[in-house]
Amino acid sequence: MRILKTLIIVTLSVTLWNCTGTNDELWFNADGSGTYQSNSDMSQVLPFLLMAMESEKEGEEDAELEMFKSLFSGEKIDTIFPMKTLLDFAAREEEKSVDELFEELENEMFSTEDVPDSIRSSFANVFDFIRALKLRIQLDKEERVFNIGTIYDFSEFGQMKKLAGDFVRLSRYAGEQEAEKDGVDFSPMQAFDMIQSSVSNMPDYVIDGNYFRYKFKGIDMSSLMEDGPDGIGSMMSQFMGAEDYSLTIHLPGKIKNIKASNDSVEKIDKKTIVIKTPLKELYNADYSFDLEVKFKNKKR
């Protein structure tokens, strides 16, 4: 069970971290299905990660650590790991099936009968998502480069928005339950309010015949900025700095026309566009962006 929990924590952390990824990529099919890949540069934490793995005590057996050490054993890697493979590994270590491990984890998390149905549903949705997820790891130890990404295939993009809501709902419930058990206030509540706002403001991506439409509204961080220079909002603002957010969109047909509310869109080949926006603008409640692309849809 320890390995399963470690995998889940790592996966959820990477997924939530990649919600603030600065380099995302979307591939759309003619029917609106597609693949979403979110990438984050984790190079700054690479030295600490390698140091932690090397600090294992001699003779100490730790299956989780051995698993991650094997992933990072090469000097240079660029590979994709299906989560299903890693979950199967965790199950074999426990001599159980993945379904049995998830059932045990669910019973452990929800030990009372008064858990709302919406939370149980979110739990099931999140772990169905984890099973379908792929992790991409790009590592170059010599150059001190470490990029990590999540890859997910969707039937329609609204599915991504629903999953993000399930993540927030489940995380918030778990936080509230832990705080209640420990008899303390759930202090990160404002942060969850901001994350919930981020989910609500997730862009709409729509394939409608031979049109692709994209709408985005900036996220309101004003409540987080009220805590002053040491608050969550200020720390996020410093983290974002002057960095740009880049979204590459691959359409299923040749682009004919582009209509955008600003000049942040660039066509880079016959079927591909890139949208580049200052990261700070995404957290500006006054910012909005509309895009409509007409393309040749072979399905029509």
pLDDT at 18: 47
Counting Cα atoms < 13 Å in the Cβ hemisphere of 122 gives: 21
The alpha carbon dihedral of 153, 127, 82, 5 has a sign of positive
Nearest partner of 165 among 208, 202, 115, judged by Cα: 202
pLDDT at 296: 92
Q: Are residues 223 and 128 in the same domain?
A: no
- Domain limit, last residue, from 158, 189, 212: 158
Q: Are residues 266 and 131 in the same domain?
A: no
* Chain-centre distance for alpha carbon 11: 9
Question: Residues in the chain with pLDDT < 50?
Answer: 17-18, 20, 229
Q: Are residues 73 and 209 in the same domain?
A: no
Torsions phi, psi of 78, nearest 5? Answer: -150, 100
Q: Are residues 96 and 235 in the same domain?
A: no
Tell me how many domains the chain contains: 2
* Chain-centre distance for alpha carbon 250: 19
Considering the entire predicted model, what is its pTM? 0.76
- Domain limit, last residue, from 124, 158, 192: 158
Element (H, E) at 290: strand 288-295
In-domain check, residue 115: yes
Locate 194 and state its tokens.
Answer: 């901001």
Phi/psi class of residue 144: alpha, beta or left (left: φ > 0; alpha: ψ in -120 to 50)? left
Q: By residue range, what is the domain housing residue 143?
A: 1-158
Q: How far apart are CA 5 and CA 94, in angstroms?
A: 12
Q: Are residues 16 and 119 in the same domain?
A: yes
In-domain check, residue 177: no
pLDDT at 300: 53
Q: Are residues 152 and 29 in the same domain?
A: yes
Q: Are residues 97 and 234 in the same domain?
A: no
Asked if residue 98 lies in contact with residue 91, where contact means CB atoms within 8 angstroms, the answer is yes
In-domain check, residue 193: no
CA-based angle 269:271:277, to the nearest 5? 75
In-domain check, residue 195: no
Nearest partner of 300 among 258, 257, 253, 249, judged by Cα: 253
Nearest partner of 77 among 129, 161, 8, 140, judged by Cα: 140
Strand duo 23-28 + 244-250: pairing: parallel
Rg over alpha carbons for the chain, rounded to the nearest Å, is 21
Q: Report the residue count for the chain.
A: 300
In-domain check, residue 208: yes
- Can you list the alpha helix ranges (DSSP code H) found in the chain? 2-17, 46-54, 63-71, 83-94, 98-109, 117-132, 158-182, 189-200, 222-225, 232-240, 279-282
Burial status of residue 76 (CB atoms within 10 A of its CB: 0-12, 13-18, 19 or more):
exposed
- Domain limit, last residue, from 158, 190, 213: 158
